Amino acid sequence: MLEKDQATEQERVYRVVQIIKNEWTRLKEQVEVKTKKQRQQLKLSKEIKISQGSTESMWESAGELREFEKDLMIRDKELINSNNRVAILEKMQAAPYFGRIDYHDEDGQETIYIGIGSLFEENDNLVVDWRSPIASLYYEGNIGDDVKIKVGQQSLAFTIDLKRQFLIRDAEIVRMLDTDNVMGDPYLLEVLEGHSSYQMGAVVSTLQREQNQIVRETRKAVTLIEGVAGSGKTVVLMQKIAYLLYAFRDQLTAEEIVLFSPNKIFQEYISQVLPALGELNVDSTTFKDFMKRKVPQFKLVSHQDERLTNVALLKDSLAFYEALKRYAAVLKKRYMRFADIRFQDEVLISKEEIAALFYGIDSEGSLASKLLILQNKLLHKINLIKVDQLRAVWVEEAIMNLSNRNLRHYELQSRNKKAAEDELAEQIIDTAFEPIEQKIEALAFVRYQSQYIHFLKAVPKLVNLSDFGLNEADWKEHIAIVANHVKARQLLLEDMDAYDTLVRLLKGPTSAKKYKYICLDEVQDFSPFQLQMLKDSYPTARFVMSGDLNQNILMKRMSFEDLKRIFADDSFRSFQLLTSYRSTNEIVQFSNSFIEHEIPAGNYIRSGQKPVVIQTEGQGDYMDYVKRKVEESTAAGLRVAFIGKNYAEAERFSDELAEADIAFRSVQRDTDNSHHPVIVIPAQLAKGLEFDVVFALCQYPSQNVIDNELQIVYTICTRAMHELYFMVADREEPLLQRVDPKNYQLAEHESGL
């Protein structure tokens, strides 16, 4: 029966693919023509700019220019949409859809096919976009289920008669399956049993019901996707971005979304997910890069010590953020650091005068608005000074120094020597004062760096240092370090955050970008300060965050309490994903030994071999065993990662591997290339990634205490999809003591098997 069906389905695939091809060819031609036209228009608009000669023609062409630019922008949008569509159609030519649902209600029976984009032939909907409301049926139900879905404001109920999944490659149906409740989701299993890859792909055909519900929730201003390792938090976040772009396509563009990832390796790992769904222009960045762009005058320096110091913990905290805000409020009354405004090596308006003007302003508004008033007052003052300067000696000298030709030109224009000289003097003064006015407009009369150091000095009065295990002497010592950094034009990330926040409090919001959605993956690695800062910098933005507070590698920085405080005024919804799709049941069980609190059980999806414990002390040559396993794995096309608890341990093991003559690549920085079948990597850089085979390097005696060791080990183990090897010095290792012996096996070289 299914075979006969397959022939019919294959016929349909051919027909649909032909229609896709036709649309693709047509659209691609259109895009080429449009791009060419746009280039010509751009050239034209440049020429118009150049022709801006006399005042009159300048106004004419400025109007013209605006028209052109408006037109270009609309065209640009169209072009972006067409480009996205071409990308989707290109993918759909190979696999036009992945699912079919037959359903009925009292009005009759319907069949829909679901793919990554929609396709019409006249009024016939040949493929339905996976993000459309009706496509929810595919994710929400199975044969025989009555499923309610929301279409606009309406809630509709349908009964599902058939759920068919396709695997189509190059327009050929490779496999086709009718699924029911009993079988579960065989496709999912097949996908999960496959090998890891260097880049994550889109997950649309096997998105699970609980994931689909998160993807489609759009009402709340803040969404937190919480879940155990490997439960698809990143998958859901990415699919959600694609969903938002579809659901709000009339109001939201890709440029209005920003996606933060924890590091560059991860950024690259997920970089193809959205393009695979036809969304090409979402801004993806790491927080470090984002800050580097915001504070370009400083170089970013990293901590010498991997551990988060108490000082860093303080600077990452909400208490520090609030201290900064309180400090800014005090600045309205005192402590502002102004610089003299100078002209021709002389003080034009002294810092004392500026301060008197500033504190004399009676304003209930923010510090920034008070500074704006000061700015206007200063500009006004400059205007008065300019009038005063009309007869100044330096102006007369400048006129004298002008060539006769220039002078003649002015005299001819005004036909009056006196008026010509006045006009000239004004021009000379305007030019001379322009840089000063620009500085005032840029609020450059505030000494931001000195103000920041002054804030740091005030911190002991604003924060209880002892809450962070610090005393005044520690703090003083730290200020000296920051002052040296500033002198050398460099800052630590947390100083960049605080410095930029102080500048924002002084200048008001300065960012040109207006993000409507801010998406954060691995939110637990952000500091509360950073999150609050994003929230205040983009007050109208909505937030979608995903994270696992069990994997708080960078110490307990973000807590639920912090999140609740930051988003206290917003509608907030958090979801929990409890099933790990990445790792085998055995790996999940083993890894759970490192979680200190109770976790609700998720579903077990698939089985594999028990994790293997390798003892490195007194058990013969374990490196022979490691070498054999690596060779077997790479021969089978599996990717292997040796993951250390920190940079030093990864480096120590790199030496051992090199000695054992095993080919590998060491990844020690987030700009290193991680594309190699065998890598050695510290946990900090492996977050979010996954490998077929993982060796957890826990055999080294700790040289210094590792904070959050359990969370780090949990993260390491949960990077494994199929095989986990846990390397310890011996069975007395406290970490191993946490694991029930029935959840692991010993390496063959030890058990003598």
Ligand X SMILES: Nc1ncnc2c1ncn2[C@@H]1O[C@H](COP(=O)(O)OP(=O)(O)OP(=O)(O)O)[C@@H](O)[C@H]1O
227 is in an annotated binding site: yes
- Short-list 452, 533, 495, CA closest to 311: 495
How far is it, in rounded angstroms, from Cα 594 to Cα 572? 30
Nearest to 523 by CA among 553, 489, 487: 553
Tell me whether residue 211 or residue 646 sits nearer to ligand X (CB atom). 211
Smallest distance, Å, CB 174 to ligand X?
A: 17
Nearer to ligand X, 282 or 429 (CB): 282
CB of 647 to ligand X, least distance (A): 20
What's the rounded Cα separation, in Å, for the pair 51 and 107? 65
CB closer to ligand X out of 550 and 646: 550
Footprint on this chain of ligand X (rule: CB under 6 A) = 188, 191-192, 203, 206-208, 211, 227, 229-235, 548, 581-582, 688, 690, 718
Closer CB to ligand X, 86 or 191, in the complex: 191
Pair of tokens at residue 727: 């390397």
- Whether residue 325 is annotated as binding a ligand: the answer is no
Residue 433 or residue 581: which is nearer to ligand X going by CB?
A: 581
> Which residue pairs from 655-664 have beta carbons closer than 8 angstroms and sit at least 24 positions apart in sequence?
656/623, 659/623, 660/623, 660/626, 660/627, 661/627, 662/626, 662/627, 662/630
Q: In the complex, what is the shortest distance from the CB of residue 668 to ligand X, in angstroms, rounded to a whole number?
A: 20
CB 486, min distance to ligand X, A: 36
User: Which CB sits closer to ligand X, 105 or 193?
Assistant: 193
DSSP bridge partners of 109: 104
Residue 152 annotated as lining a ligand binding site: no
Cα(92)–Cα(736) distance, integer angstroms: 49
Q: Which residue is nearest to ligand X, using beta carbons?
A: 232
CB 711 within 8 A of CB 682: no
- CB 58 to ligand X: min, Å: 55
State in angstroms the smallest separation of the CB of 342 from ligand X: 55
Contact in structure between 138 and 166 (CB atoms under 8 Å):
no
Place of tokens 């470090």: 288
State the DSSP H helix or E strand holding residue 632, giving kind and residue range, or none if neither: helix 622-635
Dihedral (C-alpha) 643, 646, 647, 652: value to the nearest 10 degrees?
A: -70
How many angstroms separate the CA atoms of 48 and 42, rounded?
Answer: 10
Q: Closest CB to ligand X among 232 and 602?
A: 232
Inter-residue contact 586 to 743 (CB < 8 Å):
yes
Q: Please state whether beta strands 154-169 and 172-178 pair in parallel, antiparallel, or not at all (unpaired).
A: antiparallel
Terminal-to-terminal C-alpha distance of the chain: 49
Token reading at 10: 């294959």
Q: Which is nearer to ligand X, 191 or 382 (CB)?
A: 191
Closest CA relative to residue 522, chosen from 561, 554, 565, 569: 554
If we measure between CA atoms, which residue out of 686, 655, 695 comes closest to residue 668? Answer: 686
User: In terms of CB distance, is 229 or 291 closer to ligand X?
Assistant: 229
Least separation in angstroms between CB 84 and ligand X: 23
Dump the DSSP string for 78-91: HHHHHHHHHHHHHH
Residue 592 and residue 548: Cα distance in Å, rounded?
Answer: 13
**In the complex, least distance from residue 601 CB atom to ligand X, rounded to whole angstroms:** 16
**Count of positions (residues) in the chain:** 753
Q: Is 420 annotated to bind ligand?
A: no
Q: Name the minimum Å distance from CB 726 to ligand X.
A: 17
What is the spatial distance between Cα 83 and Cα 334, in angstroms, rounded to a whole number? 55
Nearer residue to ligand X within complex by CB, 368 or 595: 595
CB of 242 vs ligand X, minimal distance in Å? 14
* Strand pairing category for 222-227 and 172-178: unpaired
Do residues 134 and 110 lie in contact, with contact meaning Cβ atoms separated by under 8 Å?
no
Nearer to ligand X, 184 or 435 (CB): 184
Please give the distance of CA 321 from its chain centroid, rounded to a whole number.
22
Residue 524's CB: how many other CB atoms inside 10 A? 24
Instruction: Name the residue nearer to ligand X (CB basis): 142 or 414.
Output: 142
Is 231 marked as binding a ligand? yes
CB of 718 to ligand X, least distance (A): 5
Measuring CA to CA, which residue among 74, 76, 45, 37 is closest to residue 61? 45
Min dist CB 593 to ligand X, Å, is 16
How many other CB atoms are found less than 10 A from the CB of residue 560? Answer: 11
229 is in an annotated binding site: yes
Binding positions for ATP: 227-234
- Binding positions are 227-234
